[in-house]
Structure formats: structure tokens, C-alpha cells
Amino acid sequence: MKLTHGQTDALQELGNIGAAHAATTLSTMLSANVSMSVPEIKVIDISEIYKYVGDEIAALVLFQVNGEVKQGGYLLLYVAKSSVIRLTNAMLGLTDMERELDEMDESALLEVGNIMVSAFLDGTAGLLNIIMLPSPPQLVIDMPHAAIESIIASQDSIDIDEVVLFKTEMVSDAHNIQSSIFLFPNHPMLEDIIRRLEDILNPSM
């Protein structure tokens, strides 16, 4: 599968809007500035996923995307392991950086994931004029590649050879927190999104 320049641009714009909403909520939660990168959009063969998501342990908050698009895909909040404790400390008002992660941290991660991903989908849904809802979140603290390949392998009746990776990095310099939002749209959702974006960008067609 190939995306045209126009389609990549359109998806990038969509990602910008979603990520801006998510970054704003993160900024509010942390009471600090959050900067975001230009969204990266790539079609990747499954054999090369490890070049983009590796085995460095991270906290992943995962959501299935539902709503008007059935089994639309997955949204994932990725927080580097070194950032997890700084993020949850900032949220919980704690200062001990050496402590072990406990249930409070897990709740805080699920919460921040919920809020950011809901904001992301609100932002994009506003543009596309469709409602996309996140499933309840699932937290995994493990190798990101292991989580992603398990998702791809578990798709009923869809045999996937390539994925569309959609990634925006969000960084809070004040707290030294690095996180990313990944979107892995399934094909029907991707086509639906592209069609709607093209309609918006070229209303005459």
C-alpha cells in the first residue's frame, strides 16, 4: 500500500489537530509547557516494525478505537520507562524518584492515557465529523514491539503485512517527560478517514 503526498499531508494535519488537543490536556495536568513534534506517518512492512518500536521497556496505555468506525484500529500512549515515575510523581504530587511503581502509578497512567486519548479523538472527530470512541484502556509495562506484534497477530480474519504508523512525540522539558501517541488504523478506518479528509480539502470533487 502506498499513500500519496496529498494523503500523507491530510493525515499529518489530522494528527496535528489530535495531538494538539492531547498535548494541551497533558500541559494542563502537569501545569507546564508541552511541546509536540510534527506527526510522522509511514507505511511500514511488518518485518521492519522493530526499527520503529523496540524492546526498551516502556509504559503503554492501549485503546481500541470504536464508534462509527467498527474495529477502527488502536491508539497507544507510550511513556518511556525513565519518564513514567516523573509523570506520575508530577500528577500525584510526589517527589521520590527512586520508589517502585505501585497501583497508584498504574491508575495515574491509565488516567492520563484516558484523558489524552479522549482529547486526541475529540480533536480529530471534530474535523472529520465522526465520533470515535476509545475502549477502556489496558496498561502494559513491557517491550513495545511485543505489544504491537501481539495486536497485529490477534486481528481476527485480517492477515496484516503492513501497518500505518502514525506517531507524535510530546515532551515536557520542565518535568523531563517523553511520551508519544501512536495510531495504528485498520484499513477500513484509514480509507474512511482519507476519504473524509479529501472531501474536506477538495469540496468540489
Partner 1 sequence: MSLMSPGNDTVIIGIGEYKVGSMPMASIGLGSCVGLVIHDRKIGSGALVHIMLPSSQGKTDRPGKYADTAIAVLIKELTSNGSSQDNLIAKIAGGSAMFKTFSGNLNIGERNVEVIRKLLKEKNIPLKGEDVGGCVGRTIFYYPKENGKLTIKRGDGTLAEL
Site residues (CB under 8 A) for partner 1? 45-50, 53-55, 57, 62, 64, 71, 135-136, 138, 140, 142-156, 159, 161
Q: Which lies closer to partner 1 via its Cβ, residue 39 or residue 73?
A: 73
Q: Which lies closer to partner 1 via its Cβ, residue 50 or residue 201?
A: 50
What gap in Å lies between CA 51 and CA 104, rounded to an integer? 32
Least distance between partner 1 and beta carbon 86 (Å): 20
Residue 137's CB is within 10 A of a number of other CB atoms, namely 20
Q: Per this entry, what is the length of the chain?
A: 205
Type of residue found at 43: V
Q: Which lies closer to partner 1 via its Cβ, residue 104 or residue 146?
A: 146
Whether 19 and 181 have beta carbons less than 8 Å apart is answered as yes
What gap in Å lies between CA 54 and CA 180, rounded to an integer? 14
Q: Which lies closer to partner 1 via its Cβ, residue 57 or residue 133?
A: 57
Q: Give the residue carrying C-alpha cell 516502556.
A: 58
Least distance between partner 1 and beta carbon 119 (Å): 22
Least distance between partner 1 and beta carbon 26 (Å): 24
Question: What contacts 24+ positions apart, CB below 8 Å, involve 190-199?
Answer: 190/73, 190/164, 192/69, 192/130, 193/11, 193/14, 193/128, 194/7, 194/10, 194/11, 196/128, 196/129, 196/130, 197/7, 197/10, 197/11, 197/13, 197/14, 197/128, 198/6, 198/7, 198/10
Least distance between partner 1 and beta carbon 50 (Å): 4
Least distance between partner 1 and beta carbon 136 (Å): 7
Q: Which lies closer to partner 1 via its Cβ, residue 145 or residue 187?
A: 145
Q: Which lies closer to partner 1 via its Cβ, residue 17 or residue 165?
A: 165
Least distance between partner 1 and beta carbon 188 (Å): 15
